[in-house]
Structure 1
């Protein structure tokens, strides 16, 4: 347990690693002994209960102030059972939205029963949770409930570590002489905060089996986790997700996760906090719900505390208070509130002059910023005395500044009396780092940043420095430094830094830097991953550029959106706004958005909040597949139906996808890979993934591929095995010709049907070419010219088919159900004039598509001779028209419908026009 600090002398761990205990400064253990029968360990039970009550009854939040009882502020957090393979690489706020969905009660653990879920003979529970989520409070609550007689009364609690630590560091246990009492007792060991030890645990190091043996702390930890030490003990480890990866899965029997606050829990927190002022609680809750970013951040309890501190200062007694509109402005107000608090509490001053307060504290704040920036680059969250000394920060002054550099100055009971420091949350550290870098930029102190930005000798403008910073941040993976960039550019806006105006210099207004960097952010997005584009959009909003955000909010209010064209920047904004919405999407169909291929690429992150995702025929690349595979590893992903059909994924893309499909977190039930250039190798990847995760996928569509007999056998074997959920496999329409990239893998040879040709339509070249020719017996029959002069193909289509027609304008090309009458010369059979016809019309006046008398304009061809591609996906109910060339297609329009019988390709001609069915195979 992280200790409030008993000042016992440190322990000598032997010569093997004299310094190993120095680096454990924020890491301590609580050992709970479950005793059955007579034992010397029962003797001091009463004293220990009293000690635990004294230690944990009163706790502090955030800034180290004491005085709140744990029971009064504790809001029960949801603890869920999950797989150990979920991704941990993302910035906390990139993934926290995924954890807000309701969880089945069958998949949750009550705190008091944390060990009851372990099967017999199993010993280790690993509980993960992001920084600030409440892991330590949860451990403290368990111990306090035991100490006060509410739960788990067969436990006796000690803050000890094995026999040497037990007898030398804890006075209560001096009478315990026999180390074998530890071995015989049923021990529960709690390791709270494994991530804060900074140990590189080596699970192949020296084996230790005796509780009396002297070795390094790191080796003791590894042997305890492996079960070499205290093999009969139960072990509970809490850690941030990334550090938990140090522990091999073979040594963990159950993985749980502490989830963030739900909306009701947020409200409960603020109503508990402000139980005497319900009006203040209501105002704070209302404001948090009005800001999607803040609402998500407050899923983490420590941000509820930050919000409580800040908005109490802003709202209390000020009905018309100026409420922060951005996170940058909010953090500035929070910082200033802590300065005021410190000034009143420690110096007993009531100085109300903001300018003077900031001026007085400027040096200290910027030193803290330097500390934050230096260690942010190294991804260090914990600082020691020497780190503060390195930047010239006075230790005593740092203690006083505990509001924003939380000095958890708790002297460890076992390993060291050295103090450690950390900001209340990584996001606060990122804000302080941004303050420091902003000050360096505006005061030309670029030497301090030369290593970070790889600066050369020439002078750099502020715009140059900001561009270099953006470039540097975008090089980072998984959102590291995203908030730092957002805060830094947010500080460029005067309204965001107004509360700190005496702390920070203003940029030269003549340089127009704010406007220029916004332009730069918009210009660089085309080559970036979708998540980075979203990050830049959020940065633009942080700079109070709301134009795109407002346009998307208006777009989401439209009853009919298909006709509204979206730019790629709009799509980044839309993906973000869908992600922060309260509800999951039932269907995300990328083809339904009127945008470019780049725009659809930007929408990929929205797959994570969709139950069904249709990405068919969207030119999906390996980059997209990597993103999808990563998302499949999230245990809270709602996605159950994924359609990637008609994308040239090849076996390499299938292999990437299987990286997500194989994890136990993946709950996908339906996967469609029709027409994806998959061979037997791809089948092997899929079979291997399903062997690793057999319990979820029920339907697999691999039609229109070239799987081969062996590939098909591997999948059918899984289908016929009762341990697999897979029951439906489609491998129809396979063959070598399905390995042609693009739509031509669906090429269908067609011929015109002479029995359907109008009298003025003549067929040539084996009925593949049709021309309009006036017959001599009615050369001037104008009534005939107004009638439908069309011809149908012989083949009725009800699968996936593609064909191309070389035509001279004017023409109409499309599909229809076969009429029951004779030749196509009646007005009621004209292409497109009812709901049984779909066609593309092109003439010198332009092009449009028509169905059921509804006309939609599309882009025109550049010459009278036009090559039209037509793709029919009959099962999916889509019909698409393309401008075709020898090696590419440009989509003109897609009809969506439900076909109920075979449809027939048809052509309608006019004077001087012709149509040739192209040979594609």
Structure 2
């Protein structure tokens, strides 16, 4: 085995030029997978996987030497492993490396024997009978020579490579049971009983397969499914640096690969890395001699160059030609045409391996086939099984598809015959004035779109790429005549754009953009990219084709999509549905996106799908209500949901919604670690239900809770199974009595709480004194305590500061204690922390001409006469609005007085100002938040054109409002200032992605004044 596997022939064997496996081997990305069958085109699978992969993602990765070792938390031993992976991804090399490391005494020395088989070899034994012992002796003759007649007493690994190539009738339902390894039977019965565990139950089995064939073995017989994902981005670079020892050359090649998204994605496949290396090395030599030779940037160009390189090798090595001679001879042209015909015929049946009968059926002489494999060794290869039966295949599915497309192209150009049309039952109704060329390419596009699993996706890219004159010129000598004018290309491009405007799936749209790339057509993408760069993307005006382009750009971006924020593009349900392919590939921020409970069914389906990779979901500030949460819970309770963080702040959730959430999450193995229900109304009963969850973080800020709920929370903290590390109870009326109850839980030796937020909870010196006693306990794990916006009194502040100094000295608590030591009122509530107060200044460059400034620019009033302000790009041209000059950071507090009807707001700087439209108004877009006040008092709040009414129980007629923003935590709160007491009006909870600026809209006869604090 050591001798057999120590050399690796990239592509296939090049006589006298092997590569040492240990020198070239690059670690593959292997993860735990599922037994589901995926019959999508394998290149489409690679593209989907490349979009989902994160370098620091939560997937469990596996080293090849640990393939039979149970993962943490798994008690059952692993007997049978099924490893999935697309063609050329490295499954065979993986098993070879596993075997070689064992044979060289590097790993797994507890294993006594490893017997590697391939289904290609076993297929030719279909009509033969063997016992298990005889089968091993025939393939591994040394075992027979040394007299080994039993394997039950040894640790044995049997490897079966290439289940997708199996032509044996594996029947797991009707096959007779066989337990005797010395009894002869057919090979399929041997394999079935081995996999069932009837034969050699103590042996380990490792089976590899392409994804579409994974269902040939019932999942009950598989202990673990793994998936070979090929190369990660760093592993791609590692491969090229090993392949090219010249550092500068390797860097140039890596840099070029990265400039083409199609090439970079395909390099997840190790075989494609080898193809790219072969081509770029050859083109690099040409560029030194002919500076005009361009590096290939599309898949079609890459495979054309690859084909030409092989023709050149034949010319030099076998025909005695020179490097500078034209590569194509009559013999090599005939070979390519024959291989193309074989490739196309077998592609129809999704066949990757061919036996002599397959070649005969296609009209290829067997002796000629051997010549092909001997000459075009890098394209077509021949293998021999135990009894010298020949097996043929292309080195990779993509090579077969390229040659198939070339065959269809050559046939149409040379004879006018459309091979694709023959496969259709009816002919497309094409307009008479269209040329035959246009009809041909339009028909190919339409046929590929009819495929449900994308089986013609890559074939179509190659076929369209071959229509370009520039690519046809690369094949000069093979093509006797060229076809397809630039006008035909333009008409094909137009047809693709029309199809993009239809109701296509995301996968089909994405492939059409790849097709446009092969045709060197980038106008739609460039248009959207320019809008993204300039910040002028108007999502409400995008056509279906432009939406598809945006999806393609986002999925193709090198930027990490780990968290996708829908608000950056359009905060609407329409945008959510249009961008769903992007959302599927990332954790998603949907906060404040004007979504309703209707969207929850889609999200539920996404969470429960087998391929779900969602770990984080932010739905804050959407009107989901209990009905939406119930639907969402259906997805959360499924076995495939892996959600770890869920934010539902300000979603109108009550006790009913909490009940549904708790029930779902309890049945899902406690994947969820963080839950935010701030600014909802879960009620005491709802919070009591939540105590069943094993959360690390629970946020209940502003949930109208009282001290009565603290018994429940204290029991959670003191539970021996408690895992809670962070608890946010800000803005609840817990008072001293509630804090005292909570301290009972904090004192428990089982309490693991590290972060405790009690801002604005009506806590006085009495409550602070109790908290200090907890901090003094030896087992306190608390690292951060927020007591801002309470009234600890001077004594409480002094005690807390002393405790803070002690803990810093002992290095137990970080400097993260927040408390207020000023503006303490007789009413017992701290109005603000002086360190948070900010002095605002109006930005005169933004003031609308219907607004007049006074009082040293600290008061603004709406007037009838236009004011004479100079033109400025920042000025609000139509609406009576203005912004303040300085952006807000950290925690900020200010107060204003008003008269009349005004909007007190905060906004991103990029809000539109030059249009007479509602989306330029504060609160009517996803870039601003606003409080509407009248002479009768605060009336409502608005964000993203969603209005929420405010009811105030206070009889005060104060026209003074306080605004408090905590930028890092994403909260914006409005208070009414009355009798030196703060009355909470509303809190927005979101994620601020840009600097915020205070702003005001002043209606006719109204005014706003900035207050000194």
The change in CA–CA distance for 1:639 and 1:541 in structure 2 (over 3 A counts) is farther
Alignment partners' CA distance in 1, 2:321 and 2:519: 35
Alignment partners' CA distance in 2, 1:520 and 1:360: 38
The answer to whether the Cα contact below 8 Å between 1:566 and 1:593 also exists between their aligned partners in 2 is: no
Instruction: Report SS of the residue matched to 1:334.
Output: helix
With 377-386 and 577-586 compared, the bigger mean Cα shift is at 577-586
The answer to whether the Cα contact below 8 Å between 1:408 and 1:421 also exists between their aligned partners in 2 is: yes
Alignment partners' CA distance in 2, 1:425 and 1:855: 49
Please name the residue that 1:492 is paired with. Answer: 467
Deviation at 1:521, TM superposition (A): 1.0
Scaled by the length of structure 1, the TM-score of the pair is: 0.68
Alignment partners' CA distance in 2, 1:227 and 1:685: 42
* Mapped pair 1:97 → 2:97: no
Structure 2 gap segments, 5+ residues each: 118-130, 705-860, 867-877, 883-892, 929-938, 949-966, 976-984, 987-999, 1006-1013
Alignment partners' CA distance in 2, 1:429 and 1:627: 40
Alignment partners' CA distance in 2, 1:528 and 1:308: 35
Instruction: Report SS of the residue matched to 1:323.
Output: coil
**Which of 49, 68, 71 is the equivalent residue of 2:18?**
68
Alignment partners' CA distance in 2, 1:444 and 1:622: 53
Alignment partners' CA distance in 2, 1:594 and 1:159: 55
Deviation at 1:61, TM superposition (A): 1.0
With 401-410 and 225-234 compared, the bigger mean Cα shift is at 401-410
Instruction: Report SS of the residue matched to 2:159.
Output: strand
The answer to whether the Cα contact below 8 Å between 1:670 and 1:699 also exists between their aligned partners in 2 is: yes
Post-superposition CA distance 1:634-676 (Å, at most 9, x none) = 47x4642253985899989987995687344734421659879
**Which of 283, 286, 299 is the equivalent residue of 2:255?**
286
Alignment partners' CA distance in 2, 1:220 and 1:207: 10
Instruction: Report SS of the residue matched to 1:151.
Output: coil
* Mapped pair 1:392 → 2:363: yes
* Mapped pair 1:514 → 2:486: no
Alignment partners' CA distance in 1, 2:655 and 2:437: 54
Please name the residue that 1:767 is paired with. Answer: none
Deviation at 1:721, TM superposition (A): 3.9
Deviation at 1:499, TM superposition (A): 0.8
1:107-118 counterparts in 2 under 5 A? 107-117=60-70
Alignment partners' CA distance in 2, 1:673 and 1:453: 54
* Mapped pair 1:270 → 2:270: no
Alignment partners' CA distance in 1, 2:603 and 2:12: 41
The change in CA–CA distance for 1:248 and 1:628 in structure 2 (over 3 A counts) is same
* Mapped pair 1:535 → 2:534: no
The answer to whether the Cα contact below 8 Å between 1:667 and 1:696 also exists between their aligned partners in 2 is: yes
Instruction: Report SS of the residue matched to 2:216.
Output: coil
Instruction: Report SS of the residue matched to 1:261.
Output: coil
Deviation at 1:110, TM superposition (A): 3.2
Please name the residue that 2:523 is paired with. Answer: 547
Deviation at 1:235, TM superposition (A): 1.8
Alignment partners' CA distance in 2, 1:856 and 1:688: 34
Alignment partners' CA distance in 2, 1:703 and 1:224: 59
With 297-306 and 596-605 compared, the bigger mean Cα shift is at 596-605
The answer to whether the Cα contact below 8 Å between 1:608 and 1:639 also exists between their aligned partners in 2 is: no
Instruction: Report SS of the residue matched to 1:108.
Output: coil
With 165-174 and 472-481 compared, the bigger mean Cα shift is at 165-174
Please name the residue that 1:428 is paired with. Answer: 399
Please name the residue that 1:150 is paired with. Answer: 106
Deviation at 1:382, TM superposition (A): 2.0
1:49-68 counterparts in 2 under 5 A? 52-66=1-15, 67-68=17-18
Deviation at 1:515, TM superposition (A): 0.7
Q: Alignment RMSD, CA only?
A: 5.2
Deviation at 1:62, TM superposition (A): 0.9
Deviation at 1:231, TM superposition (A): 0.7
The answer to whether the Cα contact below 8 Å between 1:335 and 1:404 also exists between their aligned partners in 2 is: no
Alignment partners' CA distance in 1, 2:650 and 2:203: 52
1:752-831 counterparts in 2 under 5 A? 786=864, 823-824=899-900, 830-831=902-903
Deviation at 1:307, TM superposition (A): 0.8
The answer to whether the Cα contact below 8 Å between 1:194 and 1:237 also exists between their aligned partners in 2 is: yes
The answer to whether the Cα contact below 8 Å between 1:194 and 1:238 also exists between their aligned partners in 2 is: yes
* Mapped pair 1:342 → 2:420: no
The answer to whether the Cα contact below 8 Å between 2:28 and 2:228 also exists between their aligned partners in 1 is: yes
Please name the residue that 1:574 is paired with. Answer: 550
**Which of 160, 167, 172 is the equivalent residue of 1:203?**
172
**Which of 22, 38, 43 is the equivalent residue of 1:88?**
38
Alignment partners' CA distance in 2, 1:528 and 1:134: 33
Please name the residue that 1:34 is paired with. Answer: none
Please name the residue that 1:6 is paired with. Answer: none
Alignment partners' CA distance in 2, 1:872 and 1:378: 65
Post-superposition CA distance 1:845-880 (Å, at most 9, x none) = 8767344999999xxxxxxxxxxxxx9886xx5445
Alignment partners' CA distance in 2, 1:624 and 1:431: 41
Please name the residue that 1:525 is paired with. Answer: 500
The change in CA–CA distance for 1:147 and 1:677 in structure 2 (over 3 A counts) is same
**Which of 273, 290, 313 is the equivalent residue of 2:282?**
313
Alignment partners' CA distance in 2, 1:837 and 1:458: 53
Deviation at 1:545, TM superposition (A): 0.8
The change in CA–CA distance for 1:70 and 1:821 in structure 2 (over 3 A counts) is closer
Alignment partners' CA distance in 2, 1:837 and 1:544: 38
Alignment partners' CA distance in 1, 2:403 and 2:628: 44
Please name the residue that 1:625 is paired with. Answer: 602
Please name the residue that 1:233 is paired with. Answer: 203
Alignment partners' CA distance in 1, 2:236 and 2:536: 35
Please name the residue that 1:607 is paired with. Answer: 583
The answer to whether the Cα contact below 8 Å between 2:595 and 2:624 also exists between their aligned partners in 1 is: no
Post-superposition CA distance 1:464-495 (Å, at most 9, x none) = 23222222212223432211111111222212
Please name the residue that 2:338 is paired with. Answer: 367
The change in CA–CA distance for 1:279 and 1:448 in structure 2 (over 3 A counts) is same
**Which of 448, 453, 456 is the equivalent residue of 1:481?**
456
Scaled by the length of structure 2, the TM-score of the pair is: 0.63
